[in-house]
């Protein structure tokens, strides 16, 4: 059963408050599953003993002190660690029950299903429209006649259309940082992923833009499954259904967001969420 998390500051209008309450007795099905995952670079072990179910159609927040392995874990879900020097892993990650590390898995196909938005905006050196279409073209998702509609639909979805509709062919680097991040979000959404990984997507943005992005992200569930890394505990409470606490490369606790914040089971979690650690 889901419950409304407490707003971070009293009186602030949260995205969550607008959402209809969906009450489901049965647990939702699992989208991504880490099974005994251990991962490292060279002789360093970054993650170990990781067992985690990411539920379908929910927002899962990953929290934890710096260096606890949140980014590394997130990147193991779309195999972005593969190219890192001396990368190794044990255990497995399942997407809809199938291993993403199985031989024969196509990285391109995997990353079409599991999208990612990075901590800092990373628009490509092409037009704003070109950015939205980059993935669409790479995966040959649509024909040319649909490009315009896709660009408009995606930009509207992230609330960027009004700001950029008159300069779709100009450089994305003239946009503000927040707008660039929204563009990257729209770009990731344009290829229609099932799972969206967000690595501190608002860490370099102002509160208002952050709030907009949070509201936007909320509208993406339950159509998508979202995993978001955040250092902003208020953000985790505002937008996530479930929260996972990482500490020193291990998953210490996971549960419904309200439970993790209000009634943490583990002492490390308690110390972290009350601001006495990290």
Partner 1 sequence: MALTTRQAPAAQASIRQPKGRGPLAWLPAISRKSASNRSLLRYVAGLAALLPALALAGIIVILANKAWPAVRVNGVSFLWRSAWAPGNTYGNPVKTDGVLHPVGVAYGALPLIVGTLASSGIAVVFAVPLSIGAALAVVEKLPRRASYVVGMFLELLAGIPSVVFGLWGILTFGPVLSRDVYPAVASIMPKVPILRFFRGDTGYGEGLMTAGLVLAVMIVPIVAATTRDLLRQVPALQKEGAAALGMNEWEVVRKVSIPWVRAGIIGASVLGLARALGETMAIAMVSGSLLGTMPANLYGKMGTIASTIVQQLDGAFSDGTGFAVKTLAEFALLLAVITLLTNIAARFLVRKVSTTALPVGRGV
Ligand X SMILES: Nc1ncnc2c1ncn2[C@@H]1O[C@H](COP(=O)(O)OP(=O)(O)OP(=O)(O)O)[C@@H](O)[C@H]1O
Query: Which chain residues interact with ligand X by CB under 6 A?
Result: 41, 44, 46, 64, 66-72, 84, 231
- We find the least distance from the C-beta atom of residue 70 to Mg ion, in angstroms, to be 5
* Alpha-carbon dihedral sign for residues 35, 243, 135, 222: positive
User: From the CB of residue 132, how many other CB atoms can be counted at a distance below 10 Å?
Assistant: 30
Q: Are 49 and 24 in contact (CB under 8 A)?
A: no
Interface residue with partner 1, options 8, 38, 134, 168 (CB under 8 A) = 134
Contact 73, 62 (CB under 8 A): yes
Binders of Mg ion: how many residues, by CB under 5 A? 1
Show contacts with partner 1 in window 76-105 (CB under 8 A).
78, 80, 83
Q: Work out what residue 57 binds among Mg ion, partner 1, ligand X, none; the CB cut-off runs from 5 to 8 Å by kind.
A: none
How do strand 59-63 and strand 242-247 relate by DSSP bridges? parallel
Nearer to partner 1, 19 or 134 (CB): 134
Count of residues interacting with partner 1 (CB under 8 A): 35
Query: Cα separation of 106 and 52, whole Å?
Result: 23
Q: What is the smallest separation between the CB atom of 41 and partner 1, expressed in angstroms?
A: 15
Does 232 bind Mg ion (CB under 5 A)? Our answer is no
Token pair, residue 156, equals 């509207």
CB of 135 to partner 1, least distance (A): 4
Which is nearest to 259 in space by CA: 21, 33, 5?
5
3-state secondary structure 12-59: CCCHHHHCCCCCCCCCCCEEEEEEEEEEEECCEEEEEEEEEEEECCCE
Task: Give 66 or 143: the residue with its C-beta nearer to ligand X.
Answer: 66
Count Cβ atoms within 10 A of the Cβ of residue 96 and give its class: 0-12 exposed, 13-18 middle, 19 or more buried: middle
Task: Please report how close the Cβ of residue 223 comes to ligand X at its closest, in angstroms.
Answer: 27
The answer to whether 230 and 64 are in contact (CB under 8 A) is no
Considering beta carbons, is residue 171 or 259 the nearer one to partner 1? 171
Question: Considering only 106-114, 225-233, 241-249, 263-271, which stretch makes contact with partner 1 by CB under 8 A?
Answer: 106-114
For residue 52, list its beta bridge partners.
34
Could you say whether residue 228 binds partner 1 (CB under 8 A)? Answer: no
Interface with Mg ion (CB under 5 A), residue from 60, 68, 71, 232: 71
Chain residues binding partner 1 by CB under 8 A are 78, 80, 83, 107-112, 115-116, 118, 120-127, 134-135, 138-139, 170-171, 173-174, 177, 180, 184, 187-188, 191, 204
């Amino acid at each position: 059963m889901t419950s409304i998390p407490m707003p971070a500051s009293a009186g602030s209008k949260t995205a969550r408050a607008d959402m209809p309450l969906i009450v489901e007795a049965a647990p939702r099905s699992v989208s991504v599953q880490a099974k005994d995952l251990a991962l490292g670079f060279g002789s360093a072990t970054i993650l170990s003993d990781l067992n985690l179910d990411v539920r379908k159609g929910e927002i899962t927040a990953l929290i934890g002190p710096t260096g606890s392995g949140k980014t590394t874990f997130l990147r193991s879900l779309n195999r972005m660690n593969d190219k890192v020097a001396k990368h190794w892993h044990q255990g497995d990650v399942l997407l809809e029950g199938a291993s993403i590390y199985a031989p024969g898995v196509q990285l391109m196909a995997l990353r079409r299903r599991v999208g990612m938005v990075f901590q800092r905006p990373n628009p490509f050196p092409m037009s704003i429209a070109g950015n939205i279409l980059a993935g669409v073209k790479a995966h040959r998702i649509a024909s040319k006649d649909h490009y315009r509609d896709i660009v408009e639909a995606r930009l509207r979805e992230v609330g960027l259309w009004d700001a950029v509709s008159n300069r779709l062919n100009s450089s994305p680097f003239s946009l503000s940082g927040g707008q660039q991040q929204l563009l990257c979000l729209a770009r990731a959404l344009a290829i229609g992923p099932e799972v969206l990984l967000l690595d501190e997507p608002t860490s370099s943005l102002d509160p208002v833009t952050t709030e907009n992005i949070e509201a936007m992200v909320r509208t993406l569930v339950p159509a998508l499954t979202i995993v978001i890394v955040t250092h902003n505990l208020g953000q985790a409470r505002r937008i996530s259904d479930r929260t996972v606490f990482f500490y020193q490369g291990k998953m210490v606790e996971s549960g419904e967001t309200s439970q993790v914040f209000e009634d943490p089971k583990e002492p490390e979690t308690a110390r972290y969420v009350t601001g006495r650690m990290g």
